[in-house]
Amino acid sequence: MKRPPPDYERRAIEHIQPIRQFFLANVLHHSLQLGVFAALAEEPGTDTISLAYRLGLDARRLGALLTYLENENYVLDDEGWTLTGKGRGLPTFAPWYQMLVGGYGITFQQLSDVLRAGAGYADRDTLQVGAGSCGIGVTDTLPLALHLLDTAGTDPSTLVDLGCGDGAFLIEILDRRPGLRGIGVEPNPASVERALELRTEHGLTERLDFVTATAADVAKLDLPDGGRGTAFMTAFVLQEMLEQDGEQAVLDLLTATFDAFPSTRWVVVEMDHQPTSPLMGTHGMAQAFYNPYFLIHTITEQRLETGDWWSRLFTRAGLTATRATTDPRVDSTGFEIGFLLARP
Ligand SMILES: C[S@@+](CC[C@H](N)C(=O)[O-])C[C@H]1O[C@@H](n2cnc3c(N)ncnc32)[C@H](O)[C@@H]1O
């Protein structure tokens, strides 16, 4: 029998690392969603049977999951299960798993199919995408959006968040701006259902409404004071509309809204589409997040454009667009961009 090459195992280990990360990402996502990390943070030293009982899980299978996580250094069995330092650090980043694994896991299962000539779009779980996106946004997008709103100096009394996902992002804004009212507009009914639950949990039923509609339905909204004092926001939503309805539809929406409310302000957040930037091969955040993100948007029903492309579109709509980017301590690529739109 032919002897295996002497470096076979070393090469196999190297080449199957992506498979290890693929499985690990899935296990972490499900463990976070099932509450395994939260339960262990709350009650360290718990045994498998008690943990399974608490979470309504099968004890034998949960035991296998915990052993897997121990081998990846997220938990430790020390007369009961506890989180390691790595395990304690993970939940901060749960929304990344919710968006990319929960929301887009299905997308990548369809990669071969959608790459064929003439194929349609890949699917995604819109509820998970929207919820994960809102969760990530609390750290990067929220300060950017608030900074732009404050720059406006108009002190709006109502903020309309078009394409609000599960509303978590808008809720965070209202928590930080006690005088502000919110209206979340979202076409995905499951996201609106979740948004209504979150609204109750946060005690915001008096200040926050949700409408099941698309951004293009903005003219049909019943705005307080006939829209005086209303500002608008779209975070990662014009990219959706652009692919669904085309460039002219985005222009028409902006023009019609500013025609109706000439002194309003509109905060736009998008990603600067830079898949060939030198950063993509060298920057940790570009490699870990933006590389898959840019690919995902080419195969699902969304269209990313560069920041300069968006600036030109806003100029064509007769608007000024003050541009800003994320705090570099959170994301130093500069790929996340915000615009404050106004009619001069
Ligand atoms: C990536 S999520 C962004 C969620 C949230 N705005 C955020 O900042 O994280 C995109 C959301 O836009 C919604 N959406 C898709 N098409 C839309 C349209 N034509 N008008 C308004 N929202 C739309 C999706 O259902 C989804 O909830």
Q: Is the pTM of this model over 0.75?
A: yes
Q: Final residue of a domain: which of 72, 98, 124?
A: 98
- Residue 82 included in any domain: yes
In a domain? residue 126: no
- Does residue 58 sit in the same domain as residue 191? no
Give the domain CATH number at 38: 1.10.10.10
Across the range 44-71, mean pLDDT stands at 98
Look at residue 36 and tell me whether its pLDDT is greater than 90. Answer: yes
Q: Which of 237, 242, 247 to mutate to test the pocket of ligand 1 (most atoms within 8 A of CB)?
A: 237
How many angstroms is it from 43 CA to the middle of ligand 1? 37
> Could you tell me the pLDDT band of residue 1, with boundaries at 50, 70 and 90?
confident
Identify whether residues 51 and 150 lie together within a single domain.
no
**Domain count within the chain:** 2
**Torsional class of 202: left (φ above 0), alpha (ψ -120 to 50), beta (otherwise):** alpha
Please tell me whether residues 329 and 193 are part of one structural domain. Answer: yes
Q: Whose CA is nearest to atom 12 of ligand 1?
A: 163
Task: Assess whether 268 and 146 both reside in one domain.
Answer: yes
| pLDDT at residue 2 greater than cutoff 90 | no
**Residues 66 and 150 grouped into a single domain:** no
Look over the chain and give the mean of its residue pLDDT values, rounded to a whole number: 97
Closest CA to 152 of 290, 7, 312, 341: 341
Q: Mind listing the pLDDT tens digit for each residue in 148-188?
A: 999 888 889 999 999 999 999 999 999 999 999 999 999 99
Cα(96) to ligand 1 centroid in Å equals: 16
Q: Answer yes or no: do 93 and 146 share one domain.
A: no
Whether 250 and 312 have beta carbons less than 8 Å apart is answered as no
Question: CA 299, CA 109: separation in Å to the nearest integer?
Answer: 12
Do both 40 and 164 map to the same domain?
no
DSSP letter assigned to residue 156: -
Question: Taking residues 11-26, what's their average pLDDT?
Answer: 98
Q: In this predicted model, what pLDDT tens digit does every residue of 196-226 receive, in sequence order? A: 999 999 999 999 999 999 999 998 999 999 8
Give, in degrees to the nearest 5, the angle at Cα 242 between 280 and 117. Answer: 70
Query: Atom 8 of ligand 1 has which residue's CA nearest to it?
Result: 235
Structural domain boundaries enclosing 173: 138-342
Of 98, 119, 146, at which residue does a domain stop? Answer: 98
Residue 118 lies in a domain: no
Look at residue 4 in the predicted model and tell me its pLDDT.
86
* 171 shares a domain with 296: yes
Question: Does 131 reside within a domain?
Answer: no
pLDDT of the residue at 84? 98
Residue 133 lies in a domain: no
Give DSSP secondary structure letters for 42-94: HSTTB-HHHHHHHHT--HHHHHHHHHHHHHTTSEEESSSEEE-HHHHHGGGGH
pLDDT reading at 13 higher than 90: yes
pLDDT band per the 50, 70, 90 thresholds, residue 302:
very high
Q: What is the pLDDT of residue 86?
A: 98
Ligand 1 binding pocket (C-beta < 6 A) is: 126, 129-130, 133-134, 137, 141, 162-165, 169, 186-188, 191, 214-215, 235-237, 240-241, 244
pLDDT value, residue 215: 97
Whether residue 2 lies inside any domain: the answer is no
Q: Are residues 76 and 168 in the same domain?
A: no
Residues 153, 289 within the same domain: yes
Residue written as tokens 């019609």?
A: 256
Same domain (yes/no): 79, 143: no
Instruction: Look at residue 207 and tell me if it is in a domain.
Output: yes
Residue 190 has pLDDT above 90, yes or no: yes
Contact 183, 211 (CB under 8 A): yes
pLDDT per position as a tens digit, 277-297: 999 999 999 999 999 999 999
Residue 161's nearest CA partner among 125, 227, 211 is 211
152's CB contacts (< 8 A; 6+ apart) are: 231, 265, 340, 342
Last residue of a domain, one of 36, 67, 98: 98
Are 283 and 184 within one domain? yes
Asked if the structure places residue 103 within a domain, the reply is no
Which ligand 1 atom is the nearest neighbour of the CA of 214?
Answer: 20
pLDDT at 102 over 90: yes
Distances from the Cα of 97 to the Cα of 24, 104, 201, angstroms: 11, 10, 23
CATH of the domain at 271: 3.40.50.150
Query: What are 135-145's pLDDT values in tens digits?
Result: 999 999 999 99
